[in-house]
Structure 1
């Protein structure tokens, strides 16, 4: 009777682990997709952000792919009832968990310096005002509906020609013939975007960070459960085979 109960219990854990890994594989694809979406969004403004901003979503994409492969190993180990494969699976899960934790800590540390880094990058770009810089500024100002670093006055004080670009104008006021706002007064409140781009960019990056952190925490809990199940099943199988 005890033998049958132990056998049933082991079979139950095996099927739970198998089902868990199916879910885990799907979650890996979810992480990959979330990382790709965030990376695509951040890359729109890559001219002004350092590689450290794009690193977390790239790590998440790679992690999602690795999780999918590890989940396949977990399924195979559960089917074969192989303690070696199951423990290898548990160790790999633990390594991925540590990597995710390290990335999360690095992102939290970097976040404290994010606004100053963005501000310096934006100010230097306005001072250069070359073709590449202006294309990047037109993109960010139109998409985020902002102007300058802190406000439109930055173009008057920092740029080479002391002129606000047309991308600072609200769309209905742009005069294509002259390339700036129609009959605009200096820094016209009604015609120019009044919010600076540093705040808008920070908000966009913070929003993406919330997505990454939420996905990361959810997967971390799933990984801990997987490690416990795999270790328990491996231990049970070894115990039964030693009898």
Structure 2
């Protein structure tokens, strides 16, 4: 390979790593946004459901640091740094792939674990402050009631957060209409919280998968370019 070809690949790889560094920041931002969105419902979610955005944040941080290694190795035309950069990219790629496969394989288990967690927490609503706050927060923000619907709550024990405000300016705890309301009444949220929480988790999973695939494609290009330049540098030496 001629020297001009080596320089061409070198600067292409340098520009690639600038883009790669930005993609690392994008991974961190997306991971933080998804974690913030789903994290407030972590009480009902098994740890493995929360793990993907955390892994994405960690991967983004590593990508950002590794990008500088790639830039330095490209400018210095250092064979060992370039190969080290390619190996690190490959490791990050494998980790992202493993997380994606695990999320797809255990999707059904996640849902069952989440439903079981909701059932356990519902039974402790009046005994545990944590469970009570978690359920009230869930039902208020997602405008839902119970796991599958309002009838999941025991008779005369339905929380006020299952209902819209009865009158303007009134605080729901002051009103007993919610406990007496029948399914189908306008005052009562008719949707169950499990489906809404599952939809939120799946929506965020699609975002993570989309971003992950995009970054993985960029990583493969980086691996090819760094190996190409490393071989060229070795021949030049």
Q: TM-score, normalised by structure 1?
A: 0.91
Supply the distance in 2 between the matched residues of 1:179 and 1:46 (Cα, whole angstroms).
Answer: 29
Taking only aligned residues, the RMSD between alpha carbons, in angstroms, comes to: 1.7
Specify the alignment match of 1:102 in structure 2. 98
- For residues 93-132 of structure 1, the aligned pairs below 5 Å read 93-129=89-125, 130-132=128-130
- Offset of 1:9 from its aligned partner? 1.1
Is the Cα contact below 8 Å between 1:146 and 1:193 reproduced in 2? Answer: yes
In 1, the alpha carbon distance for the partners of 2:107 and 2:132 equals 26
Give me the whole-angstrom Cα distance separating, in 2, the residues matched to 1:225 and 1:11: 17
Task: Give the unaligned 5+ runs of structure 2.
Answer: none
Q: In structure 2, how many angstroms separate the alpha carbons of the residues matched to 1:171 and 1:211?
A: 34
Superposed displacement of residue 175, structure 1: 5.3
CA distance in structure 1 between the aligned counterparts of 2:215 and 2:224, rounded to whole angstroms: 14
1:183 shift after superposition: 9.2
* 1:156 counterpart residue number: 154
Of residues 114-123 and 173-182 in structure 1, the stretch that sits farther from structure 2 once superposed is 173-182
In 1, the alpha carbon distance for the partners of 2:107 and 2:82 equals 37
Q: TM-score, normalised by structure 2?
A: 0.93
Is 1:24 the counterpart of 2:46 in the alignment?
Answer: no
Instruction: Give the distance between the partners of 2:211 and 2:165, measured in 1 at CA.
Output: 37
1:146 and 1:197 in contact (8 A); partners too: yes
**216-225 or 148-157: which moved more?**
148-157
With 97-106 and 128-137 compared, the bigger mean Cα shift is at 128-137
Task: Give me the whole-angstrom Cα distance separating, in 1, the residues matched to 2:216 and 2:67.
Answer: 14
The equivalent of 1:85 in structure 2 is 81
**In the alignment, is the contact (CA less than 8 A) between 2:115 and 2:147 conserved in 1?**
yes
Deviation at 1:67, TM superposition (A): 0.2
**CA drift at 1:187:** 3.3
Q: Is the 8 A contact 2:165 2:171 kept in 1?
A: no
Equivalent of residue 140 in structure 1, options 125, 132, 138: 138
Partner of 2:211: 215
Q: Choose from 135, 159, 162 the match for 1:168.
A: 162
8 Å contact from structure 1 (residues 21, 75) kept in 2: yes
Which residue among 59, 68, 85 is the counterpart of 2:55? 59
1:184 deviates by 4.8
C-alpha distance after superposition, 1:99-147 (max 9, x if no partner): 1111111111221222222211111111111222111011000100000
User: Contact 2:158 / 2:179 at 8 angstroms: preserved in 1?
Assistant: no
1:229 and 2:216 correspond: no
Q: Go from structure 1 to structure 2 and tell me whether the alpha carbon gap of 1:90 and 1:154 turns closer, same or farther (over 3 Å shift).
A: same
Q: Deviations over 1:18-69 (max 9, x none)?
A: 0000000000000011001111111110111111111111111010000001
Tell me by how many angstroms 1:185 deviates: 3.2
